[in-house]
């Protein structure tokens, strides 16, 4: 009997020790220290949302909830379904501050948790077979420059002089999301099959896919001679976009509420 009790005690002690270690190792939920959320004034311009230099603050001005979801989860807005109409139209001003400097990925997790806490956002994901573009490395090899510099909290992709696109510290997840925005009319998400795990610098000059009624005669001749995005990605970056069938992920909103302002 004594031996049996000793064995039971040893087992319970071992389980308790394991639980303590698990609790110690489980990371804390990432949230902003303070966050102000207010409805934007009617008729105001907006739609801007970005992390501020220093890695401690995130701001939004006149940003609809659907745009926030698209940016924070890197999913095209057309693949966000469900929810009331106001998530497309009502803008919000947000000032959020963390307790110290964090990486951009951590700040995005904090913003995701802000959407859950303040907007009561609940969702699930569904994958359906559909038309996609697969991004792969061309047989010539990647022509992008690896950038191992510290996080600078600037937009990874921005417009430069003469309409040239400039990429700085761009990872492939962000690049695929950006390509999906460029190819919005194609309604094909871009899937990363490159195997590239770093951050990269590049310049990219291409002719956008203008609407049929766009007055191209007003554009400089040199601009009109630029390649399509498909040829530019291959020739200038050493990557390839290929149309194929694949999994298309949908972000289905189950519940969302207008937040209480503060």
Taking the C-alpha atoms of residue 209 and residue 27, their distance in angstroms, rounded to an integer, is: 45
Mean pLDDT score, 78-101: 95
- The DSSP code for 154 is S
Secondary structure, 3-state, 67-85: HHHHHHHCCCHHHEECCCC
Q: How confident is the model at residue 124 (pLDDT cuts 50, 70, 90)?
A: very high
Residue 20's pLDDT is 47
Q: How much is the pLDDT for 7?
A: 45
Alpha carbon 120 to chain centroid distance?
Answer: 20
Q: Comparing 44-53, 172-181, 200-209, 252-261, which segment has the lowest mean pLDDT? A: 44-53
Query: Six-digit token pair at 58?
Result: 């995130």
What's the rounded mean pLDDT across residues 114-118?
97
- pLDDT, tens only, 142-155: 999 999 998 877 77
Question: pLDDT at residue 228 above 80?
Answer: yes
Question: Which DSSP category does 90 fall into?
Answer: -
Q: How many residues does the chain have?
A: 262
CB-CB contact of 53 with 153 (8 Å): yes
Q: What is the predicted pLDDT for the residue at 202?
A: 97
Q: Is the pLDDT of residue 227 over 80?
A: yes
Mean pLDDT over residues 179-193, rounded?
90
Predicted confidence (pLDDT) at residue 25 exceeds the cutoff of 90: no
Q: What is the mean pLDDT of the chain?
A: 87
Is residue 58 a contact partner of residue 32, using CB atoms and an 8 Å limit? yes
> What pLDDT does residue 123 have?
97
pTM for the whole structure? 0.74
Beta bridge partners of 241: 135
> Of 155, 152, 149, which Cα lies nearest the Cα of 54?
152
Copy the structure tokens of residue 78: 């057309």
Q: What is the pLDDT of residue 184?
A: 84
Higher pLDDT pick, 74 / 47: 74
Give the pLDDT confidence score for residue 152 in this predicted structure: 79
Is the pLDDT higher at 184 or at 82?
A: 82
Contact yes or no for 48/62 (Cβ under 8 A): yes
The pLDDT of residue 178 is above 80: yes
What is residue 21's predicted lDDT score, i.e. its pLDDT? 47
Say if CB 156 and CB 169 are below 8 A apart.
Answer: yes
Mean pLDDT of the region 104-119: 95
* Positions of E strands within 21-180: 34-39, 48-51, 57-64, 80-81, 91-97, 122-137, 145-146, 157-159, 165-170
Question: Residue 18 has what pLDDT?
Answer: 47
């Amino acid at each position: 009997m004594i031996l049996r009790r000793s064995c039971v005690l040893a087992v319970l002690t071992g389980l308790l020790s394991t639980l303590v270690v698990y609790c110690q190792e489980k990371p804390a939920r990432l949230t902003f220290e303070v966050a102000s959320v207010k409805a934007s004034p009617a008729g105001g311009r907006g739609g801007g949302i970005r992390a501020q230099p220093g890695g401690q603050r995130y701001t939004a001005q006149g940003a609809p909830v659907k745009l926030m979801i698209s940016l924070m989860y890197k999913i095209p807005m057309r693949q966000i379904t469900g929810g009331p109409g106001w998530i497309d139209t009502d803008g919000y001003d947000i000032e959020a501050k963390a307790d110290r400097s964090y990486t951009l990925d951590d700040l995005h997790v904090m913003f995701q948790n802000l959407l859950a806490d303040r907007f009561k956002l609940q969702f699930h994901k569904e994958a359906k077979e559909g038309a996609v573009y697969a991004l792969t490395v061309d047989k010539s090899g990647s022509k992008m420059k690896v950038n191992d510099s510290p996080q600078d909290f600037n937009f990874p992709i921005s417009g430069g002089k003469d309409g040239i696109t400039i990429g700085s510290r761009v990872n492939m997840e962000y690049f695929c999301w950006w390509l999906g925005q460029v190819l919005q009319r194609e309604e094909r998400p871009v899937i990363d099959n490159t195997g590239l795990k770093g951050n990269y610098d590049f310049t990219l000059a291409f002719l956008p896919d203008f609407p049929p009624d766009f007055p191209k005669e007003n554009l400089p001749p040199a601009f009109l001679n630029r390649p399509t995005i498909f040829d530019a990605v291959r020739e200038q970056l050493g990557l390839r976009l290929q149309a194929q069938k694949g999994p298309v992920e949908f972000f289905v909103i189950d519940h969302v509420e207008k937040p209480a302002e503060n």
